[in-house]
């Protein structure tokens, strides 16, 4: 069985010291964390590589939290659980947050343990809303077991090759950049050597004839070439 990738969370918070505290807390709990300090970048990151949970401040420059959440719901091709963080505690403020598409609401200041509990609950809820099995052309990927099949045949696959394939399959039909693939494999600590090239070679070898489904998009990245 392949190892399970860490859960991914995107923290969109413009207050630097608070963002750093939240990031440290989440990383200590083994989350894979990405961060943004303004709303426009936060929306871009959420759409490009959807996280398991989006932790969203309301008072953001560029695009405030309500606007970001509304645009995310209109543009994303899957439901991304959103936990809003704010000091606005009136019932009307909470109503605006939920109306914009938030899944949960946490008032500042908050206890770190409660933040972790709520993020885990939202991640589990997100998992319930998607199938554990991905079918991409002849490839069938079971996220519960880490098993990959092609034309009904099980393909033995090392953990890092599996993670690469899963990143491509979950992003399909979008092209995945090299930096995104590195993030999927090593989070924020990629090796100095070009290990990605080595793992990609291993993945192609494991796929056998199905390796033709992995296409290189020049100067952009990689994608799975199967019909929509």
Mean pLDDT of 34-57: 92
For 143-187, write each residue's pLDDT tens digit: 778 889 998 899 998 888 998 998 888 888 888 888 878 877 776
Q: Is 80 exceeded by the pLDDT of residue 79? A: yes
Q: How confident is the model at residue 5 (pLDDT cuts 50, 70, 90)?
A: low
* pLDDT for residue 128: 53
Query: Considering Cα of 187, then 192, then 197, then 203, what sign does the dihedral take?
Result: negative
d(CA 110, CA 108): 5
Give the model's confidence band at 4: pLDDT under 50 very low, under 70 low, under 90 confident, else very high.
Answer: very low
Decide if 69 contacts 84 (C-beta within 8 A). Answer: yes
| Closest C-alpha to 6, from 44, 47, 34 | 34
Look over the chain and give the mean of its residue pLDDT values, rounded to a whole number.
85
The token duo for 81 is 């659980």
pLDDT at 3 (0 to 100) = 41
The b/e string for 41-58 (b: 16+ C-beta within 10 A; e otherwise) is bbbebbeebbbbbbbbbb
> End-to-end CA distance of the chain, in Å?
28
- 30: which 2 tokens? 């083994």
Structural contact between residues 101 and 72, judged by C-beta atoms closer than 8 angstroms: yes
Average pLDDT over residues 21-35: 92
Over residues 197-215, mean pLDDT: 92
Residue with the bigger pLDDT between 4 and 215: it is: 215
pLDDT of residue 130: 61
- Whole-number pLDDT of residue 126: 60
Q: Residue 129: is its pLDDT beyond 60?
A: no
Q: How many residues does the chain have?
A: 228
The DSSP code sequence of 111-177 is -HHHHHHHHHHHHHHHHHTS-SEEEETTEEEETTTTEEEETTEE----HHHHHHHHHHHHHTTSPEE
Percentage of the chain surpassing pLDDT 90?
Answer: 38
Kindly report the pTM of this predicted structure.
Answer: 0.60
Q: What percent of the chain has pLDDT over 70?
A: 91
Residue 100 pLDDT > 90, yes or no?
Answer: no
Closest to 206 measured CA to CA, from 142, 132, 155, 148: 155
* Section 131-137 average pLDDT: 81
Write the CB contacts of 137 (distance below 8 Å, at least 6 apart in sequence): 210, 213, 224, 226, 227
Name the region of 111 (left: φ>0; alpha: ψ -120 to 50; beta: rest). beta
Helices marked H in the chain: 16-28, 39-48, 65-75, 91-100, 112-128, 159-171, 178-186, 195-207
Token readout for 23 is 């990031």
pLDDT(20) > 90: yes
pLDDT at 183: 75
Q: Which of the 8 DSSP states describes residue 85? A: E
* pLDDT of 38 above 90: yes
């Amino acid at each position: 069985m392949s190892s399970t990738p860490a859960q991914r969370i995107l923290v969109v918070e413009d207050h630097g010291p608070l963002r750093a505290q939240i990031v440290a807390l989440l990383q200590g709990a083994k989350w894979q964390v990405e961060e943004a300090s303004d709303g426009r970048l936060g929306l871009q990151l959420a759409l490009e590589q959807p996280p398991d949970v989006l932790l969203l401040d309301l008072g953001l420059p560029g695009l405030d939290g309500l606007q970001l959440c509304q645009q995310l719901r209109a543009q994303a091709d899957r439901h991304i659980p959103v936990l809003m963080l704010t000091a606005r505690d009136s019932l009307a403020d909470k109503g605006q947050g939920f109306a914009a598409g938030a899944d949960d609401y946490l008032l500042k200041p908050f206890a770190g343990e409660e933040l972790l509990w709520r993020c885990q609950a939202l991640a589990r809820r997100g998992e319930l809303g998607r199938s554990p099995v991905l079918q991409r052309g002849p490839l069938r990927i079971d996220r519960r077991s880490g098993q990959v099949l092609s034309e009904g045949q099980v393909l033995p696959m090392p953990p890092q090759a599996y993670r690469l394939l899963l990143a491509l399959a979950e992003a399909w039909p979008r092209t995945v950049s090299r930096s995104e693939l590195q993030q999927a494999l090593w989070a924020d600590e990629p090796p100095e050597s070009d290990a990605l090239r080595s793992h990609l070679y291993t993945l192609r070898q494991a796929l056998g004839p199905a390796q033709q489904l992995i296409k290189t998009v020049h100067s952009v990245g990689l994608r799975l070439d199967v019909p929509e």
